[in-house]
Each structure stands twice: as C-alpha cells, then as structure tokens.
Amino acid sequence: MVFRDEVRAFLDEKFDAELRAQTARQAGVFAEDVVARRWHKALAEKGWSAPSWPKEYGGPGWTARQREIFAVECTRVGTPALPSMGITLCGPVIMRYGADEQKAYFLPRMLSGEHIWCQGYSEPQSGSDLSSLQTRAVRDGDDYVVNGTKIWTTNAHNANWIFMLVRTATTGRQQAGISFLVSPMTAPGITVRPILSTSGEHELNQLFFDNVRIPVANRMGAENDGWTVAKYLLEFERGGGSLGVGLRVGMEKVKAMAALESAGGEGTLLDDQSFRRKTAAMEIDMITADWTDLRLSARALVGESVGGTAASIKKLLASRRSQDIAELAVEVLGHYAAPDQRRALGAYPQERPIGPDYAVTPTARHINNRASTVYGGSSEVQYNILARQLGL
Ligand SMILES: Cc1cc2nc3c(=O)[nH]c(=O)nc-3n(C[C@H](O)[C@H](O)[C@H](O)COP(=O)(O)OP(=O)(O)OC[C@H]3O[C@@H](n4cnc5c(N)ncnc54)[C@H](O)[C@@H]3O)c2cc1C
C-alpha cells in the first residue's frame, strides 16, 4: 500500500464520527484535553504519535516527504491539534541533552501520552528579554529549591510535567546563570491559576512555585548552561511545524465558505472579482512561503531542528500568513461573524450555533490567532534575530 493510502485508511478508521464532531468546534491553539488524549492514544497505538522522531527513540523515522504527506492528510480532515510541548519541543531536547536514564524514562511516556507537558519559560517581567528571568533555584543536597512565578503557561492545568528555566546563579552574564529543569506538576508547592483568553478559552495559566523541591537529577544539560538548552528548544517551537500545509488547507476552507456565501448581487463571493484578486495575491504569497518551508525543512534530518535562522523565518511566515487567512474567514462570513458563539464552541457545546455550522469557529479562531505573532517569541524578536544574523 502506498504511504498516502495507508494514512488515509488510518484516518478513516480512527478519526471517527465522534472525534470529528468534537474537533469541528475547537477554536483554541490545541484541542481540548479530552479530545487530545483520545487522539494521542490512537496515534500512539499506531506508532505515529511523534512524526518527526527517529526510529531509535520510538518514532516512525519518516522522510521529510512522508511527514509532509501525513501533515497534509491530517490537516485536510481536521484532526485534533495535539499540545506540542512534549513531543515537538521537549522530546528533541531530551534526545540531545538528556542522560541515558532520562531518555529511557521520559521519551516512551511522551510517545504514549502518559506524560503531558507544559513550558515554563516566560515570567511577568521576562518575555522577549527571557534571559532576565528571576525564578530562583537554590541547591539543597540532592534537590533544587525553587521559588518564583511563570506566566502564560499553556495547558498547565492539564499537564502532569513541566520543563522550566530557573536562575541558578546571579553573577556574570544573565544568560550564564540559567538551568533547565523538569518537574512533575504534582510536586508540593506548585499552584496553577487560570487566565481566560478574550476568545473565551482557558488555555493559559500563571504558576507559582513556593519552595518546590526538584531533584538535581531532573536537570537537562549542565548547571548554568540552560540557556543553550533553552535556545535549542526554541528552534523547534519556531520551526518545528509544517508551515505550508496549514496555510494551504486553511485557504481551501475559506474558499469553500466563499462558494456558499452571496456576494450581495449575482453569484457567490468566490465569483466576485475583487475577492478573487485578493485570494490570488494571498495564494502567490503562500506558495513562496510553502517552498521556503519545504527548502528549509528538507535540510533537517529526522529528529533535528531546521536551525535558528530558518526557524525564525518559518515562525514569521507561519504566524503572519495564518492571521491573514483567519481574518479573511471573518470577512467572508460577514454578519455571521458577529454573534458571540462561545457557548456553541468546544467538544461539548452548550448551545446550537447561530447561522451555518461553518460560521461557528472563524471569529474565535481569528481572535485567538492574534497571539501567534507574540507567543514563541514575537515577530519583532524574530526580526531582531535575523538582523543580527545578517550583520545589520
Ligand atoms: C497565547 C500565548 C501562549 C503562550 N504560551 C506560553 C507558554 O506555554 N510558556 C511560556 O513560557 N510562555 C508562553 N507565552 C509567552 C510568550 O512567549 C511571550 O508572551 C512572548 O515571548 C512575549 O513576551 P511578553 O508577553 O513579555 O511581551 P514583551 O516582551 O513585554 O513585549 C511587548 C512588545 O514589545 C516588543 N518588543 C520587546 N522587546 C523588543 C525588542 N528588543 N525590539 C523590538 N520590539 C520588542 C514585542 O515584540 C512586543 O510587541 C505565551 C504567550 C501567549 C500570548
């Protein structure tokens, strides 16, 4: 059986009607926990929960082309977006910086979905200037004692593990006093406080660490060398996804909606000249983004990063273009984009949507997606990185 057929057969069987219905009204960055866990389990049983991992660590060892096909087929049918913090971000870090015992313990549990991860990088005073972080870890025997706060911690309320940056030295360059630790979220002294988004979801949290004991054995990399580990992880956060696929499928979906909406006179919006000019310009732009992505991604080996500069380029292209598409979807819907549909969203919606089914998510997605040029490092920060690389 050729690979694409195998993927389609799997999706037909496992992405069943119940999961499809639960996923259709999700507007957040990641699928709701109940949906994400079910889908993760189905993928793990097939050995496909970590498409970019090498065989050595339990991944499928796919080529760049196979990964692309898998992403296209999943995006086309709209499979749940799984939280990326474990498999996409922390997994490669453990592969490179983890000790053998850490690899043996964490990687299989990431693959199976037993461990769900969150990312403790940002603090109230340390976002773009991340290396100024203040959460303190002080050695006490075989443990670090951690005090401080982390903010915007996506999915922390569902995660059972966190990877985090802590300050282990206060002298010298601020980058040189950081360490990379991992901890179970059940460790005594961790408090999770929810932050609700404008679009209505609970995705974000603030965390408080009050004398939390984290074993020294839970450090990845050397003490005070966490900045190196942190930057490597960011390469996967910014450049790890398959950029072109989401944009292409997103555009197809907007055009399908436009084919059902009236242009106000004769014909549908899709036939309207000014709409067609606009979408054509966006599609040309997207093709260039897609090719850039394929060129950059094809260079990376399985389980490896595309590299820091390429990752910044991908992050910029993906976030800006996806915002354009989300905004166009709202424009296409016109008055159907206006009602507050928050109670019609989610795996278990409490109300029927107003208007056609396809009108229920675009406004929430558009609002939610405004954050994509901020999280993972803002666009301005990516421009600064590129300018430095180019010696500007
Ligand atoms: C939805 C969402 C989810 C997130 N999830 C997580 C998570 O799971 N874990 C985590 O650790 N963090 C998370 N973050 C935090 C995210 O990484 C930070 O918001 C981001 O790095 C920006 O930091 P900041 O919010 O402190 O903004 P600031 O750093 O205060 O920036 C404010 C503005 O100033 C600009 N700016 C700052 N410095 C410069 C500069 N040198 N040159 C030019 N412009 C500059 C920025 O581009 C931005 O527009 C999340 C954020 C959001 C919005």
**Do residues 291 and 359 share a domain?**
yes
Q: What is the pLDDT of residue 65?
A: 86
Q: Is residue 98 a part of any domain in this protein?
A: no
**Do residues 154 and 279 share a domain?**
no
> What is the CA(127)–ligand 1 centre distance, in A?
5
CATH number at residue 132: 2.40.110.10
Q: What is the pLDDT of residue 294?
A: 82
The pTM for the full model equals 0.95
**Do residues 208 and 288 share a domain?**
no
Residue that finishes a domain, picked among 58, 82, 106 = 82
- Contacts of residue 30, defined as CB under 8 A and 6 or more positions apart, other chains included, come to 36, 80, 81, 82, 83, 84, 154, 155, 203
**Do residues 286 and 337 share a domain?**
yes
Coil, strand or helix: which one is 114? coil
Q: What is the pLDDT of residue 213?
A: 98
CATH number at residue 270: 1.20.140.10
> What is the CA(326)–ligand 1 centre distance, in A?
21
Q: What is the pLDDT of residue 244?
A: 81
Residue that finishes a domain, picked among 82, 106, 128 = 82
pLDDT digits 0-9 by tens, 294-333: 888 777 777 788 888 889 998 999 999 999 999 999 999 9
> What is the CA(368)–ligand 1 centre distance, in A?
15
Contact 360, 341 (CB under 8 A): yes
**Do residues 308 and 370 share a domain?**
yes
In 10 A of CB 41, how many CB atoms? 14
* Range name among 115-129, 170-184, 241-255 with the lowest pLDDT average: 241-255
5 lines ligand 1 (CB under 6 A): no
**Do residues 244 and 367 share a domain?**
yes
**Do residues 219 and 266 share a domain?**
no
Coil, strand or helix: which one is 76? helix
What residue numbers bound the domain in which 189 lies?
A: 117-225
Q: Where are the beta strands (DSSP E) in the chain?
A: 117-120, 136-140, 143-151, 161-167, 178-184, 190-196, 202-215, 219-220
Residue that finishes a domain, picked among 164, 194, 225 = 225
Amino acid at position 333, single letter:
L
Mean pLDDT, to the nearest integer, of 57-72?
92
- Contacts of residue 114, defined as CB under 8 A and 6 or more positions apart, other chains included, come to none
Q: What is the pLDDT of residue 92?
A: 95
Q: What is the mean pLDDT of the chain?
A: 93
**For ligand 1, what atom is nearest to the CA of residue 128?**
29
Q: Is residue 167 a part of any domain in this protein?
A: yes
**Do residues 340 and 265 share a domain?**
yes
Q: Is the pLDDT of residue 341 over 80?
A: yes
**Do residues 250 and 346 share a domain?**
yes
**Do residues 270 and 375 share a domain?**
yes
**For ligand 1, what atom is nearest to the CA of residue 85?**
8
Q: How confident is the model at residue 108 (pLDDT cuts 50, 70, 90)?
A: very high
**Do residues 145 and 21 share a domain?**
no
- Bridge partners (DSSP) of residue 143 are 140, 215
**For ligand 1, what atom is nearest to the CA of residue 154?**
8
Domain count, the chain: 3
Q: CA angle 191-154-46, nearest 5°?
A: 115
Q: CA angle 99-103-104, nearest 5°?
A: 115
Mean pLDDT, to the nearest integer, of 107-129?
98
Q: Is the pLDDT of residue 146 over 80?
A: yes
**Do residues 126 and 192 share a domain?**
yes
- Give the 3-state secondary structure percentages of the chain, helix then strand then coil, rounded to 5: 55, 15, 30
Tokens of 234: 């960011």
Q: What is the pLDDT of residue 303?
A: 77
